[in-house]
Structure 1
């Protein structure tokens, strides 16, 4: 399978904090969902900023398809931890923002997807009129409908309560499986990473190195019962043990 996005031996440091990324090599295949788990401050967001062209690594190369993209912006769609919806724009206009930046927006497609996520009644509403989960759905749909083929998700559900978070995970998978964009997902939550991903990369504390790459054995579509299966729980314990051995002592 062809890699859609690829990092090869990427190293990044800052004057005040020293080396943050130390020889990071990873990839996301076309249509694949890949997660990164690591401790706070390990450099997960720095990886995203390098991919997005906001930061230049001192060493290493980044590729989109087969094209080198070091320092280039505009190649990826991005969903941050906070929904970052523009408060003066309606739900429909927020969804179309990513398309507006690159080509003529497709209002009919936006309306179709708002119906799919049960938000068509809110297309003329403003962000302050939505719940937290609804805002995250709008933000994800905005990123999903952007023209870029790679989607970076930076802990998008971390601010949600446990039940809303699990509902959002299932919702995300149902929408992603229809669009099949290549996704790189940051999370602190081991269970979330296992449930969502095709593969997982484990990061050490700073300076970040890849501890392990894990290919998930679970078939799609994923269902609620998976979280209780013995193989799922065993893998969760195994990942926790790997992270702890790699120097992660905080709760994940």
Structure 2
């Protein structure tokens, strides 16, 4: 299966229902680290694996265990990318080093996808999910937003900061765009589609955590990691609910 076809189909599954999205960040002592977004659509495969398999035709007869970089994908779509604006091409270039791993089995009712990249400084991740929505502009990419049409594009600007003493995750909402979407007749349909999906944040730090501004944060035994679960509806409609600060022990 061609990379773009596989990616588009994977993203299409993600726009359906009962998916868990997990945003992972691991920061090392020197400030470098790893960022990833995981999508687990196994619940959907459990409910509708046969129908999904029939849509994929011959590809459904074999399990998929695929790993590729966006750089490879962009090479496959270079003609389409050449027609994009310089601004859009610059945005796509930010995604070149992302590695996409997909595991799908209709028989095992399994569907897992991960987009991951390394970073030298967490500040490099500013608005990375919004940037990924540029994929929709690729030819034939109506469903090719990262992990679903619209995922990442929740009408906010997301930023991360870390200085060794404090970590901050902050999304600033574009209220005008959000108001326009709520007027859209498809908004209620989208809300229904994601009603049973969750957005989970899992962050790992090199230092022990003193406190977190979100009272729902769960700590690891060593107090160096936190997990916070939100509804996906909040991620899309109230992205500032996912804002929080982490302070570390000295």
Give the TM-score normalised by the residue count of structure 1: 0.28
Using CA pairs under 8 Å that are at least 6 residues apart, name the structure with larger relative contact order, 1 or 2.
1
TM-score by length of 2: 0.28
